[in-house]
Amino acid sequence: MIEIKNLHKSYKMGKNSLHVLKGIDFSVEEGELVAIMGSSGSGKSTLLNILGMLDELDEGTYTLDGVPIKNLNETKAANYRNKFLGFIFQSFNLINYKSAAENVALPLYYQRVSRKERQEKALKYLEQVGLKQWATHLPSELSGGQKQRVAIARAMAAEPKVLLADEPTGALDSTTSYEVMDLIQKINDQGNTILVVTHEEDIAHMCKRIVHLKDGVIVEDKKVEQVRAAQYV
Amino acid sequence: MFDIERWQEIFDTIRKNKLRTVLTGISVASGIFILVILLGFGQGMQNGIAQEFEEDASNRIGVWTQVTTKEFKGLNPGRPIRLRNENYDYIEDKYADELEYKSPNFRVFNASINYKKESGAYSVQGISPEYQQIENEFITKGRFLNYKDHQSVSKVAVISNKIHRELLLNEEDPIGRELKIADLSFKIIGVYGDKGGEREEDRIYIPLSTGQRVFNGGDSLNMMFFTLKPAATFEKTLAESIKFTDEIKTYLKQSHTVAPDDMSAINTFNTLENVQRFMNLIGGIKFFFWFVGVCTIIAGIVGVSNIMLIIVKERTREIGIRKALGAKPWSIVGMILHEAIFVTAVSGFAGLIFSMGLLELIGPNVEVDYVVNPSIDFNIAITTVLLLIFAGTLAGFFPAWRAAKIKPIVALKEE
């Protein structure tokens, strides 16, 4: 599903250049649930941004579902993001003047899905995350965990190939975190490919594979016994 | 533009951001409103001043004489100059093609007038029939003087409404009644009114020939009046009337042996020169209102631009989210501009309709000196609205374009 070879990325900070990713080789199969771990500054968020086509790579190759991702202009990147990827952010990133259902329906708007179908799909995915009765509420009327579940429903709505989650539990307390992870595990059980960036050990162990990043290189890549989040809920 | 989905998305945004929308709308609508009212009153002042000047024929040229002030060809200064019938005849003859109306004037001030037992003192003026057009007199009863009266030296008189009231005590049928001027009987043939009001109604008109004979004037005149046929443009008319005035002055100086540089013996006035002054005044007023109007529009444009900048800034994070969800840069720019154009257009036209409605409603009822029927050219009003919409669009485009170009991760970090 994801194939990365010899990935380099550096940021220019004035005259100095900060080399963040120093040659990453990495691949993900369909249906995997991968945790990307590392301390802050290890390059894990940069990696995720490149995977998500939110940022551009300097060197190396990136293939997503057999499509080489290179020389993207804004329009093409937008198309691929819309077709291939769903994002889950630490700070939820819901649009605050739109209701839960409208937020979930937004990626479908950019897929040029008709209004009626959008509404139906939005309700369907809200039901999956258990928030159907909250469909008309604004994000400001929802708790943190609920917001993240709406964000997950939104990421799912476009039916992407890969879900990318950047610290999805970073802004949540542990109980809520486990609820969100439970949801992510269930989505994975349906066969979806999910990448989760985290620095929390227990969250990482709820995935099926842990990739450890340190100073821009992968230092460890191992399969783990998945801890089901449901038992903590 | 005709994408129904886009429209729905925009109406959603507008409905859920009422404050932002209302503020933008008010600033646009009030800008247009102020401009229309200002320009309307500028036009009203122009109308008012124009109306004040319609009262007298505006291209009237008058000639009168005083004593000489300079020694010339052995003649002493202080010699009184009298206009003669022959002077008038010469000018009338020479400028027959250029002149529109002309009249000599032989006048006696404070002549004693009697009607039955009433008496009063009025100015008696011997004139020719065209004097009616020169003074803009209108006839309320009977008729004005004609050439037959002049030729037959008839003792007929035209009195004013004011004299009819004061001296004849509103006699029901004044026409044909006998009036005594300098103890001679005159038949009243008409009653006139003057647009300038009663201060211009202290005159009794009689034929020139009769006047000169009754008051022993011989062939002397007090004044001569002329109006010229209007040329194609005001500037041309003015130039011609100045030329005409100069020429008759030169002729009169020669025929009366007056020094060419004697500024006081032969005098003329030319109302057209006053009109020119007022035209300049109107031009100045118009320019002033335009200047204020343009400043208002600029203030409106700056206001709309500011609001657009703030809106885009406020929406940067939302733009990042939309981009992460797959929005293309142009769809972001389109969304922001679409909303901006829609809001500016609706509020701009609302301001236009409201202000023009107000002008239509109160315009005809305005009764202030020098302000008559304030109104505005519809095309100008529409143009200003379109200008404001265009400026708002332009002002919104650059920040929107910049925001659409920002990388999603940068936009998402925006708080």
What are A198-230's pLDDT values in tens digits?
Answer: 988 999 999 999 999 998 899 999 999 889 988
* A159 part of contact set with chain B, CB < 8 Å: no
ipTM: 0.89
A-chain residues near B322 (CB < 8 A): 95, 106, 110
- C-alpha span between B160 and B198 (Å, rounded): 9
Q: What SS3 class is residue A177? A: helix
- C-alpha span between B396 and B88 (Å, rounded): 73
Q: Are residues B340 and B191 in the same domain?
A: no
C-alpha to C-alpha distances, B29 to B19, B108, B381, B385, B388, nearest whole angstrom: 15, 64, 12, 9, 10
B-chain residues near A94 (CB < 8 A): 321
* A98 part of contact set with chain B, CB < 8 Å: yes
**Which residues partner with B388 through β-bridges?**
none
A-chain residues near B325 (CB < 8 A): 81-82, 87, 106-107, 110, 154, 158
What are A44-82's pLDDT values in tens digits?
Answer: 888 988 898 888 888 899 998 888 888 778 888 888 888
- Residue whose pair of structure tokens reads 């038949």 in the numeric block: B187
Q: Which pLDDT value is given to residue A34? A: 94
Q: Are residues B141 and B198 in the same domain?
A: yes
CATH ID of A2-232, from 3.30.1390.20, 3.40.640.10, 2.40.50.140, 3.40.50.300: 3.40.50.300
Residue spans of beta strands (DSSP E) within B252-337: 266-270
pLDDT > 70 in chain A, percent = 100
Q: Which pLDDT value is given to residue B58? A: 64
Q: Are residues B94 and B105 in the same domain?
A: no
Provide mean pLDDT across the span B210-226: 91
Q: Return the biggest CA–CA distance within chain B.
A: 109
- Residue whose pair of structure tokens reads 């609508």 in the numeric block: B29
- B79 found inside a domain: yes
Strand pairing report for A59-64 and A217-223: unpaired
- B59 found inside a domain: no
How high does pLDDT run on average in chain A? 90
pLDDT > 70 in chain B, percent = 96
Closest Cβ opposite residue B324 in set A81, A111, A115: A81
Q: Which pLDDT value is given to residue B54? A: 56
- B403 found inside a domain: yes
Q: Which pLDDT value is given to residue A63? A: 92
Q: Which pLDDT value is given to residue A185? A: 93
Q: Which pLDDT value is given to residue A155? A: 92
Q: Are residues B86 and B105 in the same domain?
A: no
- C-alpha span between A158 and A118 (Å, rounded): 10
Closest Cβ opposite residue A75 in set B318, B329, B412: B329
What are B255-265's pLDDT values in tens digits?
Answer: 998 888 888 88
CA angle centred on B307, ends B303 and B308, rounded to 5° = 115
- B234 found inside a domain: yes
Chain A nearest-CA residue for B3:
A112
Q: Are residues B38 and B87 in the same domain?
A: no
Residue B21 Cα, gap to closest chain A Cα (Å):
14
Provide mean pLDDT across the span B229-239: 77
Contacts of B170 (CB under 8 A, 6+ apart): B164
Question: In the predicted model, is pLDDT for residue A111 greater than 60?
Answer: yes
**pLDDT tier for residue B52 given thresholds of 50, 70 and 90:** low
Q: Are residues B233 and B93 in the same domain?
A: yes
What are A5-40's pLDDT values in tens digits?
Answer: 999 999 888 888 888 899 999 899 999 999 999 888
**pLDDT tier for residue B188 given thresholds of 50, 70 and 90:** very high
**pLDDT tier for residue B55 given thresholds of 50, 70 and 90:** low
Q: Which pLDDT value is given to residue B242? A: 87
The pTM assigned to this predicted structure is 0.66
Number of domains, chain B: 3
Q: What SS3 class is residue A64? A: strand
Closest Cβ opposite residue B323 in set A78, A102, A114: A78
- B173 found inside a domain: yes
Residue A144 identity (one-letter amino acid): G
Contacts of B191 (CB under 8 A, 6+ apart): B139, B140, B141, B142, B158, B159, B160, B161, B164, B174, B175
* A107 part of contact set with chain B, CB < 8 Å: yes
Q: Are residues B89 and B144 in the same domain?
A: no
Provide mean pLDDT across the span B339-347: 87
Q: Are residues B250 and B303 in the same domain?
A: no
Q: Which pLDDT value is given to residue B57? A: 47
**Containing structural domain, residue B158:** 101-228
B-chain residues near A170 (CB < 8 A): none
Other beta carbons within 10 angstroms of residue A62's beta carbon come to: 20
DSSP run (H or E) holding A7: strand A2-13
Sheet of A209-214: strand order equals A85-88, A162-166, A193-198, A33-37, A209-214, A217-223
Domain boundaries, chain A: 2-232
> Both tokens of residue B105?
């004037």
Q: Are residues B324 and B208 in the same domain?
A: no
What are B107-137's pLDDT values in tens digits?
Answer: 998 888 998 888 889 999 999 999 998 888 8
* B386 part of contact set with chain A, CB < 8 Å: no
How high does pLDDT run on average in chain B? 85
Contacts of B339 (CB under 8 A, 6+ apart): B10, B13, B14
Q: Are residues B223 and B234 in the same domain?
A: no
**pLDDT tier for residue B329 given thresholds of 50, 70 and 90:** confident
Q: Cα B289 to the chain's mean position, in Å?
A: 15
Q: Are residues B173 and B149 in the same domain?
A: yes
What are B246-288's pLDDT values in tens digits?
Answer: 999 999 999 998 888 888 888 888 877 777 777 788 788 878 8
Length of chain A counted residue by residue:
233
Q: Inter-chain contact A110–B326, Cβ cutoff 8 Å?
A: yes
Taking alpha carbons only, the member of B188, B57, B198 closest to residue B131 is B57
A-chain residues near B17 (CB < 8 A): 97
Q: Are residues B189 and B314 in the same domain?
A: no
